[in-house]
Amino acid sequence: MTHILNGKTVAITGASRGIGAATAREFAALGANVVLLARSRDAIATLSGELGQTALAVPCDVARYWEVEAAFQAAVDTFGALDVVINNAGVIEPVARLEEADPDAWSQAFDINLKGVFNCIRAALPHMRAGGTIIGISSGAATSALEGWSHYCSSKAAALMLTQCLHREMGDKGIRALGLSPGTVATQMQREIKSSGVNPVSDLDWSDHIPPEWPAKALAWMCTPDADAYLGGDISLRDEALRARLELS
């Protein structure tokens, strides 16, 4: 049976690398039109070239609402619709204890990790029909405090609440809202965490992290009715039963 994503238009933030790039490849392979959003203009242009005519690269800073609004309008102008938004863009830097944290840098992390999620939700809703899906990349840090991660834990906790608010307000109108907590993934972010040497996550070996292709496959599954039981909540990719269901091993 043709996959439900075939012909759908999917916008992915933070698409230049890691989970975002892997998700773009996965969704494109399933027949979706993919709109690549990131600040790294060259990286998303290269990825768009790799994926072909069903990909559109739009340089965008998610912390700026008007840039997100223009990017989503470009998606609709190019492909005729906006069916799925993956709120993947996020930063872990600067890792610092509260007494040493730089206020401007702390605030900037919120601009991306939280305000960027709001901007994408707000800009997407006018374009979305019933059945549209908005997924946030969540984290165990949304519910567990970690040394040096006050900016990350707090912003991810607030972003999780945004997903829940979206479900509360728009679920009865057919907008599907849910989150994915992937666990630790072998991406550049984990290299930054490792180099910080702060809290137990930095002590993990590279082999402890899952490949970015795993959350990409989970995100594709989350766009199907099979994931409707999780609407308004967070799916943990640490769940061994879910991994088995998605054949991730």
* Active-site amino acid positions: 152
Element (H, E) at 123: helix 116-124
Tokens of 113: 């990790």
Q: How far apart are CA 153 and CA 81, in angstroms?
A: 34
Spatial separation of the C-alpha atoms in residues 28 and 19, rounded to whole Å:
14
| CA 152 from centre of chain | 14
Contact call for residues 186 and 211 (beta carbons, < 8 A) = yes
Nearest to 132 by CA among 173, 103, 163: 173
Q: Indicate the pairing of strand 176-181 with strand 33-38.
A: unpaired
